[in-house]
Amino acid sequence: MPKSSSPSSITVEEAVSRMVNLDYIPTGFTLIDMTGAFYETADVVYHNAKVDQLSKEELKVCELRLAICESRHVLATSLLDHLKLDLANPETSSLVISPEVSSNVRLELNSVSDWSTENYGISIPEWIETSELIEAEVSKVQLTWKDITIKIYNDYRIGCFFGKGESTQSHFRKIGLMGVAKNSPNMLGGVLLGMSAGKKFPKFPMPSAGEKTALSKLRDALKNLTGIVEDPFYPINECDGWKPQFTLIDDRRNAAERAKNGSTKVSFDDVENYEPETWSHDDEPETDDFMDENDDASDFLSGKSNR
């Protein structure tokens, strides 16, 4: 993951500073001031080494230092010139100016990352990671719950598919659907499993306080999993109860069938072609944790009702 300090935009001088690996410029100085100072210092050291008649090996070290500092100074100057020329010709440049208000022109980091990689093969790891994060977040902003597919796998792993592109995996325990010290789903996990089988929640038209609380907690867990802030469920109605806006699949039986047939591949096409079956008590997972809750949600999951 990218560092939290990585910016979304950067000035021209900051960009070149990172390309030549100079991470500190004192107030009142420029990048070229600093690379020039290193160059001048190396030149003085080399001159003194010759005056003092140091050994051949010591002179060679001083000479190499001078050559490197000179090359770095020339590189920084040339990169600045190239960036400025590209900015002066926006029609042909891949650089993108950030809309951020600033006294200096700021460039969108992902465009600088692409520019430096394409032109010079200079790839800064945190730039790439930040660029990918920005693109992923923009993509997620454009997605709705109707674009999301959530699949439940063996051992209560959970997979989340964002359209037909990005995907992520987690676990019931990690997102609050299983107790920390237990190996079976809690009440919230049981509700999600029931919904994956097409079971209506709540069973009766008027939800109880416990059912409302359970749905609210499940809603928050799914928002945290996907990063989508809208409600993952349609408004409750008498016919469907709370119905997911996303595609929800219990893939545990499919996994068992694939293992039986000697196949381990999972095709995303399975998501679109899946038709949920009726959930019978024979299919019901062993979920003693949420059955022991003794509330409206556990009554729903166990097929009981106090109404």
Question: Considering 117, 140, 163, which residue would you say is the last residue of a domain?
Answer: 140
106 exposure class (CB count in 10 Å sphere: 0-12, 13-18, 19+): buried
What percent of the chain lies above the pLDDT cut of 70?
Answer: 74
Question: Considering 140, 161, 184, which residue would you say is the last residue of a domain?
Answer: 140
- Do residue 285 and residue 153 come from a single domain? yes
Mean pLDDT over all residues of the chain? 79
Which residue type sits at 81?
Answer: D
CA 49 to CA 60: how far, in whole Å?
10
Summarised one tens digit per residue, pLDDT across range 189-217 is 999 999 999 999 998 888 998 899 999 99
Q: What per-residue confidence (pLDDT) applies to 6?
A: 56
3-state secondary structure at position 107: strand
Question: Taking Cα atoms as reference points, which of 276, 291, 297 lies closest to residue 197?
Answer: 276
Split into its structural domains, the chain has a count of 2
- Do residue 206 and residue 130 come from a single domain? no
Domain limits for position 279:
145-302
- Do residue 54 and residue 168 come from a single domain? no
- Do residue 17 and residue 164 come from a single domain? no
pLDDT over 90 (residue 304): no
pLDDT over 60 (residue 99): yes
- Do residue 36 and residue 136 come from a single domain? yes
Q: Is residue 56 part of a domain?
A: yes
- Do residue 101 and residue 160 come from a single domain? no
Average pLDDT over residues 274-300: 41
Average pLDDT over residues 231-236: 94
Name the phi and psi angles at 200, rounded to 5.
Answer: -75, 135
Summarised one tens digit per residue, pLDDT across range 238-283 is 899 999 999 999 988 765 555 555 543 333 333 333 333 333 333 3
Provide, for the chain, the percentages of residues in helix, strand and coil under a 3-state DSSP scheme, each rounded to the nearest 5. Answer: 50, 10, 40
pLDDT interval class at 221 (50, 70, 90): very high
Q: Is residue 1 part of a domain?
A: no
CA 266 to CA 167: how far, in whole Å?
13
Q: What per-residue confidence (pLDDT) applies to 24?
A: 86
CA 83 to CA 94: how far, in whole Å?
10
Note whether 307 and 207 are within 8 A (CB): no
Q: What per-residue confidence (pLDDT) applies to 121?
A: 87
pLDDT over 80 (residue 136): no
Stretch (H or E) spanning 285 = none
- Do residue 269 and residue 216 come from a single domain? yes
CA 61 to CA 55: how far, in whole Å?
10
Instruction: Give Cα separations from 109 to 112, 114, 117 (angstroms).
Output: 5, 9, 12
CA 8 to CA 305: how far, in whole Å?
54
Q: In the numeric block, which tokens belong to residue 202?
A: 């709540």
Q: Give the residue carrying structure tokens 């729903």.
A: 300
- Do residue 168 and residue 136 come from a single domain? no
Q: Is residue 243 part of a domain?
A: yes
Summarised one tens digit per residue, pLDDT across range 50-86 is 999 999 999 999 999 999 999 999 999 999 999 999 9
Summarised one tens digit per residue, pLDDT across range 158-184 is 999 988 777 888 899 889 898 766 778
Q: Which of 27-31, 44-48, 99-103 has the lowest mean pLDDT?
A: 99-103
pLDDT over 60 (residue 229): yes
- Do residue 14 and residue 101 come from a single domain? yes
Q: Is residue 307 part of a domain?
A: no
- Do residue 91 and residue 190 come from a single domain? no
Q: Is residue 2 part of a domain?
A: no
Question: Considering 120, 140, 160, which residue would you say is the last residue of a domain?
Answer: 140
pLDDT interval class at 237 (50, 70, 90): very high
- Do residue 65 and residue 213 come from a single domain? no
3-state secondary structure at position 217: helix
226 exposure class (CB count in 10 Å sphere: 0-12, 13-18, 19+): buried
| pTM higher than the cut 0.85 | no
pLDDT interval class at 33 (50, 70, 90): very high
Instruction: Give Cα separations from 7 to 1, 56, 212, 248 (angstroms).
Output: 14, 46, 41, 36
DSSP state of 22: -
- Do residue 210 and residue 267 come from a single domain? yes
The angle at the Cα of 248, spanning 265 to 270, to the nearest 5 degrees, equals 30
pLDDT interval class at 109 (50, 70, 90): confident
